[in-house]
Amino acid sequence: MAGARVVEEILKRAPDQFEITMFGAEPYGNYNRILLSNVLNGSQSATDIFMNPLSWYRENNIRLHAGVRAMLIDRERKVVVGSALKRDALAYSVDAPTDPSSNVIEEPYDNVIIATGSRPFVPPMEGFGGAGTFLFRTIDDCSRIADYARNNRKAAVIGGGLLGLEAARGLLTHGVEVTVLEAGPQLMGVQLDPEAGDMLRKTIEGMGIKVLCGTITTKIARADGQITHLEFKDGSTLETDMVVVSTGIRPITEIATASGLNVNRGIVCDDQMHTSDSDIYSLGECVEHRGQLYGLVDPIWEQANVLADVITGVKPDAAYFGSKLGTKLKVMGVELASMGETKPAGSDDEVVVYREPSKGLYKKLIVRGGHIAGAILLGDIEAAGTLMQMFFTGAKAPARRADLLFGSPTGVALLKASDLPDNAQICNCNGISKATIVDAIQNKSCLSVSKVGACTKAGLGCGSCKSLVAQLLEHYVGEVGYDPTEHYYVPGVPLEKSQLVKEIRNRGIKSVSEVFAQLAGGQEDPSSKVGLASLLKTLWPEEYEDERDARFINDRVHANIQKDGTFSVVPRIYAGVTSADELMRIAQVAVKYKVPMVKLTGGQRIDLLGIKKHDLPNVWRELGMPSGHAYTKAFRTCKSCVGTDFCRYGVGDSIELAQKIERRFQGVESPHKMKLATAGCPRNCSEAYVKDLGAVAIEGGKWEIYIGGAAGGSVRKGDILVTVDSHDGVLLYMGRFMQYYREHGKYLERTYGFVERVGIETLRQILVEDSLGICARLDADIQKAVDAYIDPWDEAEVPAYPAQFSGPELSYALEVAESNG
């Protein structure tokens, strides 16, 4: 990251001044290491995190030797000597080795910049290395960890800092039990104080990750080559199948040492980023500057600016004096900002603290001499953009300190972005200065926050600087422009959802192809088809004209494709209550079709995994049960607890209610899946509080209806929409909310995002108080959707098209890929 950044800065200042050659030991161009955990958890691909594509090097006439490690700077001959790590890595090189018979590449130089970064530090322990042990530092590490985790049950992450926690998050998505082991007394000891560290630990444990602090690993024990357990200094042990170590970094300085440069803990540099040889510069995590090493991105951006000013001669006296440290992070989905000191230095320091443990909120401010000396924000970092600017610029803190943590009650900005100097960094994640943003606004017609982001990358990291970007827009052009493309329902039709719904209704459009013909100038966009099909089915439950090419494979064959190309079949079991007769039929099908795995699901259902596509119609027929819709964006299941039938605590008949809910709403399509539950009392055994919709019985024969709960990758307790006194009341309000969500939710927006976006108060006004006068219409429309229900497994008898269940085996890989995205 440092190497690429300094080259970008040099090109900005003097595009044609240098012939530039870059060496990189990894067989890629540069990528954003901060986003590696997204690659591990699968939410981004490796190419998504590349900072510059390989074409960028060509376009800027940069000779890139990727997969070639720079070994030595021969200062007498003035050449850099590199060694290709693997022959095939040279496929990425723009130029072949100097001597084709060897792996050695030599490049002459006038100046060299060393940006070798750092490598993971592995604390002393017996048994690290070999199968099952991993570092977490590179794209290749991510794929190795993910591959290994898929076939194992338990993982230990040694290191409770940022990267360790991110590795733990990534591992969790691969279905392994994860334990984080931290040698220090708390998590993230560099960025947090003990109280915030403890709060973060509780939040992370709530996500299902075990955390052990004060635990020093001494040995990784094996039997028959496989890891069995870890041994700790206090004599205790932990069973595990794999170990990921993420315990800090150490500068990579070998090339500097080999070349005779001054190296202490890092490569020693002066304020102009010169090493002990004035033709050789260095920056980034490999550098020691004024005795300090840096492992955050902001100081590296500052060093890149100074180095580029000096080497191009634009500002030969530019100087780097060291950095104040501040960072914004998202640790396992928990937002966190930390800057400066985490503890007061003495009794003269003012400390302002706000804590709300039940919500995982903690805010702390340390003010010294009227200026911010340090701050921690955990759980809510809305104030981080302003706070960091004030911290970095040394601005005077406002008299009302609380305004810094919660914003000014008058709405007046505490800090005016327009007053900042041109070189003030607005976007810390991507190192974008005020001058760059102002240039985009004034000279490149970027008149909305998203356009500024697309042009400069400002706001594309954690996003907390967007309010400052908006302030700059207001100051320089008078208003913040509206960018409609951000709000299109699907990318291929240039309309927001409400406009799209209006046009579809007014024009009576019933098919996806007609939407493209009438509203997108005849231009079909494959990525928009599935979202449009879902919307059309919501608007025209009976008259919708189904076009099978607007469906993913799962919806074409009404089963969930698995990674080997077979399918999972989940029959509907209303409220999770089955019978001996149904169980016998399921067992007979499992035996007859040699089903490799029969599994109970989290939604109280039975999943038959490993069914071949051509067997699907017979399986459905012989099961004699309707589809459980476990493969699509629609109503899925309604779990129930034992309720009044058998439980001594029950105050409401949760089973009967769940059966009524499931029979009524089965198959109703929606922007994303909807999982429901009913609980017979607030003990909540069926987890109704954390479902998309949940009904919980309370004393007095009443039911509380919760909406917007989640207990998957996101965890959220639902909000109470309304309390009713009958099953019919539950069915009425649940249906009304579903219809409103179907009409107003963005495609693939779960209810928890929808409820947060619209706001529970607004939803209560619309759906309970009928503030818009639409409740009767919503009730009628959800009834139409209910009436239009047809069991899709009826297609066992009459296939929708001839090859529905007979696709060639070779298409499976494509179908898996398609269903993934």
Q: Where do contacts with ligand SF4 occur on this chain (CB under 6 A)?
A: 641-643, 647, 649-650, 654, 679-681, 683-685
**Taking the complex as a whole, how short is the minimal distance between the CB of residue 697 and ligand SF4, in angstroms?**
7
User: In which element (H, E) is residue 385 found?
Assistant: helix 384-393
**Taking the complex as a whole, how short is the minimal distance between the CB of residue 578 and ligand SF4, in angstroms?**
18
**Taking the complex as a whole, how short is the minimal distance between the CB of residue 694 and ligand SF4, in angstroms?**
11
**Taking the complex as a whole, how short is the minimal distance between the CB of residue 639 and ligand SF4, in angstroms?**
11
- Report d(CA 80, CA 74) in Å as an integer: 6
Strands 133-135, 334-340: pairing kind: unpaired
Residue closest to 459 by CA, chosen among 377, 385, 389, 375: 385
- In the complex with ligand SF4, the residue whose CB is nearer, 530 or 685, is 685
- SS3 string, 134-183, reads EECCCHHHHHHHHHHHHCCCEEEEECCCHHHHHHHHHHHCCCCEEEEEEC
Residue 232 near residue 155, CB atoms below 8 Å: no
**Taking the complex as a whole, how short is the minimal distance between the CB of residue 811 and ligand SF4, in angstroms?**
46
Strands 242-245, 154-158: pairing kind: parallel
For the chain, the distance separating the N- and C-terminal CA atoms, rounded to the nearest angstrom, is 29
- In the complex with ligand SF4, the residue whose CB is nearer, 594 or 683, is 683
What lies within 8 Å, CB to CB, of 218 at 6+ separation is 125, 126, 231, 232, 233
- Report d(CA 770, CA 776) in Å as an integer: 9
Residue 144 near residue 133, CB atoms below 8 Å: no
**Taking the complex as a whole, how short is the minimal distance between the CB of residue 589 and ligand SF4, in angstroms?**
31
**Taking the complex as a whole, how short is the minimal distance between the CB of residue 687 and ligand SF4, in angstroms?**
9
**Taking the complex as a whole, how short is the minimal distance between the CB of residue 648 and ligand SF4, in angstroms?**
7
**Taking the complex as a whole, how short is the minimal distance between the CB of residue 698 and ligand SF4, in angstroms?**
11
- In the complex with ligand SF4, the residue whose CB is nearer, 478 or 648, is 648
Strands 280-282, 68-74: pairing kind: unpaired
DSSP summary character for residue 398: P
For 686-753, give the DSSP string. Answer: T-GGGSSEEEEEETTTEEEEEES-EESSSEEPPEEEEEESSHHHHHHHHHHHHHHHHHHSPTT--HHH
- In the complex with ligand SF4, the residue whose CB is nearer, 207 or 642, is 642
Q: What is the largest CA-CA distance in the chain?
A: 90
- In the complex with ligand SF4, the residue whose CB is nearer, 533 or 661, is 661
- In the complex with ligand SF4, the residue whose CB is nearer, 279 or 687, is 687
Residue closest to ligand SF4, measured at CB: 680
What are the tokens at 199? 């709060």
**Taking the complex as a whole, how short is the minimal distance between the CB of residue 577 and ligand SF4, in angstroms?**
13
- In the complex with ligand SF4, the residue whose CB is nearer, 239 or 656, is 656
- In the complex with ligand SF4, the residue whose CB is nearer, 499 or 684, is 684
**Taking the complex as a whole, how short is the minimal distance between the CB of residue 640 and ligand SF4, in angstroms?**
8
- In the complex with ligand SF4, the residue whose CB is nearer, 461 or 680, is 680
- In the complex with ligand SF4, the residue whose CB is nearer, 658 or 778, is 658
3-class secondary structure, 576: helix
DSSP summary character for residue 666: T
Let me know if 18 is exposed, middle or buried by CB neighbors in 10 A (0-12, 13-18, 19+). middle
- In the complex with ligand SF4, the residue whose CB is nearer, 455 or 642, is 642
Angle between helices 616-623 and 580-592 (to 10 degrees): 160
- In the complex with ligand SF4, the residue whose CB is nearer, 151 or 726, is 726
- Report d(CA 530, CA 548) in Å as an integer: 10
Residue 248 to residues 2, 136, 168: CA-CA distances in angstroms? 18, 10, 15
**Taking the complex as a whole, how short is the minimal distance between the CB of residue 737 and ligand SF4, in angstroms?**
22
Residue closest to 12 by CA, chosen among 64, 60, 62, 55: 60
Rg over CA atoms, the chain: 30
**Taking the complex as a whole, how short is the minimal distance between the CB of residue 705 and ligand SF4, in angstroms?**
16
**Taking the complex as a whole, how short is the minimal distance between the CB of residue 181 and ligand SF4, in angstroms?**
35
What are the tokens at 2? 């440092």
What are the tokens at 630? 């476990």
- In the complex with ligand SF4, the residue whose CB is nearer, 630 or 696, is 696
